[in-house]
Structure 1
């Protein structure tokens, strides 16, 4: 059984494209559109191994969401991959400092994403 992945993005088109692609590769996919929803899903489903999170979301952004995940003992070990349109070197550092295990820029390079998912 392949890893269960939670995709968090406020844009349904991004979720649709990622979900379709990853499901075709055999992953189980769950989706959320807000940070708090993602935290709740992680707390209630121990099978989720990887979180793909958009950094720029309304309400609670990816940085704030990652901070809460890393401070919550039951979910802090979840692999978090930041997904963002922000592609400057300092953006990568900011994501990693906020608690991301890896960082992928949009538009997403599928090979790079699959490597990141399988690395952890």
Structure 2
């Protein structure tokens, strides 16, 4: 792993955060989390060791599509890897996430093997 090895989980469901953090910790990753996109973006700005963002796309305050666009428009975060994590698994949802600026897409319930494979390519 490089010097930036922390994963930022942005999800409004504490059960999802708990499950992801537990799995990531068991696989040797470090993570921090936020229950809102606004708080997650603030956390991203205050940290210099975030390697990747796992972004829930459907949140009440600011949805993942808006949050990704905000992150991408911020100097220094244009190429930060962002993985869209969403319960939306309809035709076209993957493309919509990628068009918003996500680097990859994983549907819920999260296939942990797929997530770990995607992370291994990024970190």
**Where on the TM-score scale, by shorter chain, does this alignment land: which range?**
over 0.9
Match of 1:67 in 2: 69
Match of 1:11 in 2: 13
1:53 to 52, 55, 66: 55
Match of 1:35 in 2: 37
TM-score by length of 1: 0.95
Instruction: After TM superposition, give the deviation of residue 74 of structure 1 in Å.
Output: 2.3
Match of 2:115 in 1: 113
Is the deviation greater in 1-10 or in 11-20?
1-10
* Contact 1:34 1:57 (8 Å CA) reproduced: yes
- Aligned-partner Cα distance in 2 for 1:49–1:76: 13
Match of 1:85 in 2: 87
- Residue correspondences, number: 120
Instruction: After TM superposition, give the deviation of residue 77 of structure 1 in Å.
Output: 2.1
1:101 to 76, 95, 103: 103
Q: Deviations over 1:29-79 (max 9, x none)?
A: 100011111111111111101100100000100000000000001222211
Q: Which runs of 5+ in 1 are unaligned?
A: none
- Aligned-partner Cα distance in 2 for 1:118–1:70: 22
Match of 1:23 in 2: 25
Instruction: After TM superposition, give the deviation of residue 119 of structure 1 in Å.
Output: 1.6
RMSD of the TM alignment (CA)? 1.1
* Contact 1:39 1:65 (8 Å CA) reproduced: yes
* Secondary structure at 1:89 match in 2: coil
- Aligned-partner Cα distance in 2 for 1:108–1:51: 15
TM-score by length of 2: 0.93
Q: Which runs of 5+ in 2 are unaligned?
A: none
